[in-house]
Amino acid sequence: MIDTPKGLRLHIGLFGARNAGKSSLANALTGQQISIVSNVAGTTTDPVEKACELAPVGPVVFIDTAGVDDVGELGAARVRRSLSVLEWVDLALIVLGGDEVGAEAELIRRAKTLGTPVIIVINQCDRRKPDAEMLAAANASGLPVVTTSAATGEGIEDLRAEIVRVLKDGTEPDRLIAGDLAKAGDTIILVTPIDTGAPKGRLILPQVQAIRELLDAHAKVVVVQEDRVAEMLGELKNPPKFIMCDSQVVEAVAAATPESIPLTTFSVQMAYAKCDIETLAEGTAALTRLKDGDRILIAETCSHHPQKDDIGRVKIPRWLRQKTGLDLRIDVAVGKDFPEDLTPYAVVIQCGGCVVTRRHMLMRLRAARAQGVPMTNYGLTICHLQGVIERVLGCHPEALAAYRRARG
């Protein structure tokens, strides 16, 4: 892995009406032609993403979205997609390009409700200077306002500086999947099985992240496959601070690991780093209340080609049916598409979310909670089915307590 993955980058969305100059502004901010620019309204139809570096913030992703004033059946679908992006970006640039503030006012209201930081950008100042009424409306919002021209470059550096200021002041510190559990000098064993689902010549993203975080913490990292855990424990002079394994082999690793050594999994730690582990642990208890005919949603944020050992689409459904003996109906949602109506489902089983941001995962959790649908993740589900859920939650006592309360 050479580039910082998108799931670890701050996401900045550009929103506004058609022909407000969002695409031109995105091109100016990134210094690249990421979006087609045209005088024809509605040129941008789907969100367009571009990863780049924004000093001194670091790696970010700019997202150019379709106009929120689009019309017609297809236009309404584009608007819904743009509004869905607003729900999970780290910063929203609300771009004004005309003389009136209509749909943009609703965008600002939505962003404030979501707790999303906003910068109002009055664009196209080379064509017309913003009138007093527009400036008054923008300033009355209490949000930062920057005037720009993507065509001439006027105000672009001011906008970059304001983006940096807002991101530095308004974003939470990153949660770490392994680094938050370790300190300098600790020895940690990582267990990474190699099966047909493993990518050729490399490790999966959470494993790479864990190794990097532990190195940053100046810990000592030992990486083995599941059949070498007992051997490795015997070779160490002192027991490891903890063992972190792939959820698929947690049962075997638990059997080889003394109870005195804390045990967790990459996916369980993703529940902590990328979402709300207490709420997901609570949602895991819903698996004990499944009955014949229940529908389950498997939600996979990446769109990889499934293989015969695919964890979300093959293994978890098989294990659920084997362990419960129930006739379960299982649906799969792939990529950033997430059903608006979750009420048909008894539980949502979400992947770890390594390719999306924590804000994106919390958006999904918020949607499920609003509809009264329990949500868990792959790792917690597997640990529950393998009978080791309470052990792996030992690293997170409050999540363990939430699971026990929900299970009763």
Same domain, 190 and 329: no
* Best CA proximity match to 296, nearest among 403, 407, 373: 373
- Mean pLDDT by runs of 10 across the 408 residues of the chain is 76 92 91 60 70 90 91 86 92 83 83 92 83 74 89 93 89 85 97 76 88 97 97 97 96 97 97 97 98 97 73 92 96 89 98 91 95 98 97 97 96
Q: Judge whether 60 lies within some domain.
A: yes
Same domain, 323 and 280: yes
Tell me how many domains the chain contains.
Answer: 3
The whole-number pLDDT of residue 336 equals: 78
pTM, to two decimals: 0.86
Supply the CATH number for residue 224's domain: 3.40.50.11420
Same domain, 327 and 400: yes
Last residue of a domain, one of 126, 152, 170: 170
Structural domain of residue 346, as residue ranges? 275-407
Last residue of a domain, one of 129, 148, 170: 170
The whole-number pLDDT of residue 100 equals: 59
The whole-number pLDDT of residue 98 equals: 62
